[in-house]
Structure 1
Amino acid sequence: MDAEMPEEFYLPATNILPPDGPPGPQGGRPRVPNRTVLAVLWYVLVAGVRWKDVPRAFGCSGRTAHRRLPYGQKLGLFGSLHQLFLDALRRAGTLSADTVILDSFHVRAHGGGELTGPNPTDRRKKGSKHTVLVDERGTPLVILTCGSHVSDHCQILPAVLAFPKIRGKPGAPKTRPRKLYADRGYDSAAARAILRWLGIKAVIAQRNREHGSGLGKVRWVVERTIRWLKGMRRMRLPYDRLAMMQLAWNTLAASVMCFRLLE
């Protein structure tokens, strides 16, 4: 993926971000423009560089972008961008969220931090688990992060509750899927009961059964989306220790992927 942010990605943000203001009455250095900061965040997300290694050619230091990242998350910028692109995809007829697929992948936590835990598949070294919910075409709807020690089935309810309100067509927005596919790691009587109560049909491979359930014919799209996410180096090489920072990266990554699909 190109590490340079396209102008078309920034245009929707102009209606969400506060305007670039002049220096305060006491003077001082002018505030770095929003577009410049967003370009740095795109670069760091894709290239995976440390904040101190952001090229000076951007006209924005890594420290400034680091400070503005959680600000953008609290402001709802990245969530609003994700929402805009999801609505546009549904309007274009390329998003169908009646059926969703859930999967996850582990990343090693360099330096530890929040949302980490001992990874049972990596000699209990600290790591994080990214849980990804996509539609049947692989569009990322939800990306969540928790410690690597958290069981997969514990993330089903948070993922479903985080399902976005998808507009783009006349009538009420889409607020819940009808069917959810997942592998045997998500098999749980409690999870199935919750999904049934929510009116969602659970198609989950059962534990202690022979492989060959046939779910791979449906689940391959989420595996492809995970490969795309791993192509964004910051998603597989996290350095930020705070949960707010990782949540911001998750939402920004989902926005970038939806933008690419819309293109």
Structure 2
Amino acid sequence: MSVRLVITDAMWDRIEPLMPPDPVRGRRWADHRRPLEAIAWKYRTCSPWRDPPEKLGPFQTAYKHLIRWAMDGTWERILAAVLAVADAGDDVGWTVSVDSTVCRAHQHSAGARRRRAPCRAEPEDHALGRSRGGLSTKVHLASDSRARPLSIHVTAGQAGDAPAFEAVMAGIRIPRGGLGMPRTRPAVVLADRAYSSRSIRGRLRRRGIRAVIPQPIDQIGHRLRRGRAGGRPPGFDAETYKERNAVERCIARIKQWRGLAMRTDKLAVAYRAALHLAAILIWTRR
């Protein structure tokens, strides 16, 4: 049976130098391309771990790669290195859009132990919660102006958007060449009405970031009722706000992988690692 692969030779030429060495001393350098293809196949098709084609090797190898690199932060480091190369080539659009999307959770994702998390990166609720649609996970992300992910954060499905804003912005850290500090400050941040709050606007203002966030109707009415004490309305550039569709297109790209559009992982670190792998492949595709 033929298998449609997603990692081209050009993409692998960019990813291969970023692969970590084999943790077992004395062992020959491992070929990481096949396990990465197996992980991508699993989440692209939303198939069980035990069902990959023989061409992609044992499923245990792919799963160990996913979990081991999720626990030690390898996926985040590879994504940061890919972003650093793109930023050095002036290929990052620094008009950043922030939004979230709810991903339905399969019944197989429930049942993980809640007594203690397997690592510090794993939340106690495993980023699973109940919203109106049932058991779900919410993916918060920031994208550049070309619909490519810069930062990814996962919470339970019923969590609000505004409380996760700081975590999403903190995830934007693109290393620079030499000894310079990582770049963390976009030029403009676009977000919908769910992020309209004084704390978010004040935080962006203190960092020198222009916020393009519309006000909800209730906030407008509350300010008008206060009269002069309500202060001036926050600035809003309607023309620039039209570029917020970049984050919607970024979400659509990620949800092309069926295993990300519907979560089947019990652990949040595994699901977040798969999101980072999708982001890595999106950035290396060009």
Q: TM-score range by the shorter chain?
A: 0.7 to 0.9
Distance 1:100 1:109, change over 3 A: same
CA apart distance, 1:32: 7.1
Question: Which residue matches 1:203?
Answer: 212
List gaps (5 residues or longer) in structure 2: 111-125, 222-236
> Could you tell me how far apart the structure 2 residues matched to 1:44 and 1:31 are?
24
Counterpart Cα distance in 1 of 2:208 and 2:243? 20
Decide which of 119, 138, 145 is 1:129's aligned counterpart. 138
Aligned partners of 2:281, 2:93: CA distance in 1, in Å?
19
**Separation in structure 2 between the aligned mates of residue 231 and residue 110 of structure 1, nearest angstrom:** 17
CA-CA distance at 1:77 after TM superposition: 2.9
What corresponds to 2:77 in structure 1? 80
The offset of 1:108, in angstroms, is 0.5
1:133, 1:159 within 8 Å by CA — same for their partners in 2? yes
Partner Cα distance (2:160, 2:238) in 1:
21
- Offset at residue 139 of structure 1 (A): 2.2
Q: How does 1:1-263 map to 2 (within 5 A)?
A: 3-11=5-13, 12-19=15-22, 33-60=31-58, 62-97=59-94, 99-111=95-107, 112-113=109-110, 114-120=126-132, 122=133, 125-167=134-176, 172-208=181-217, 213=238, 216-260=241-285, 263=286
- Name the TM-score, length of structure 2 as normaliser: 0.77
Following superposition, the deviation at residue 216 of structure 1 comes to 4.9
Deviation at 1:238, TM superposition (A): 1.3
Percent of aligned positions that are identical: 26
> CA separation of 1:19/1:68 partners in 2, compared to 1, >3 Å: closer, same or farther?
closer
CA distance in 2: counterparts of 1:167 and 1:225, whole angstroms: 24
Give unpaired runs (5+ residues) of structure 1.
25-29
Give 1 or 2 for the bigger CA radius of gyration. 2
CA deviations over 1:110-130 (Å, ceiling 9, x no partner): 12441111123x2xx111111
In 1, Cα distance between the equivalents of 2:183 and 2:242?
25
Q: CA deviation at 1:169?
A: 9.3
- 1:225 is displaced (CA, Å) by 1.0
For residue 234 of structure 1, what is the amino acid of its counterpart? G
Give yes or no for contact 2:254–2:275 (8 Å, CA) kept in 1.
Answer: no
C-alpha separation in 2, matches of 1:229 and 1:169: 32
Query: Are 2:38 and 2:57, in contact at CA under 8 Å, matched by a contact in 1?
Result: no
Residue 27 (structure 1) aligns with: none
Give the direction of change, closer, same or farther, for the CA distance of 1:130–1:40 in structure 2 (3 Å limit).
Answer: same
Question: For residues 142-178 of structure 1, what are the alpha-carbon distances to aligned partners after superposition, in whole Å with 9 as ceiling and x for unaligned?
Answer: 1111111111111110011111224369965422223
Q: CA deviation at 1:257?
A: 0.8
Q: 1:177 to 1:104 in 2, by over 3 A?
A: same
The alignment partner of 2:50 has SS state of helix
In 1, Cα distance between equivalents of 2:178 and 2:8: 27
Aligned letter for 1:102? V
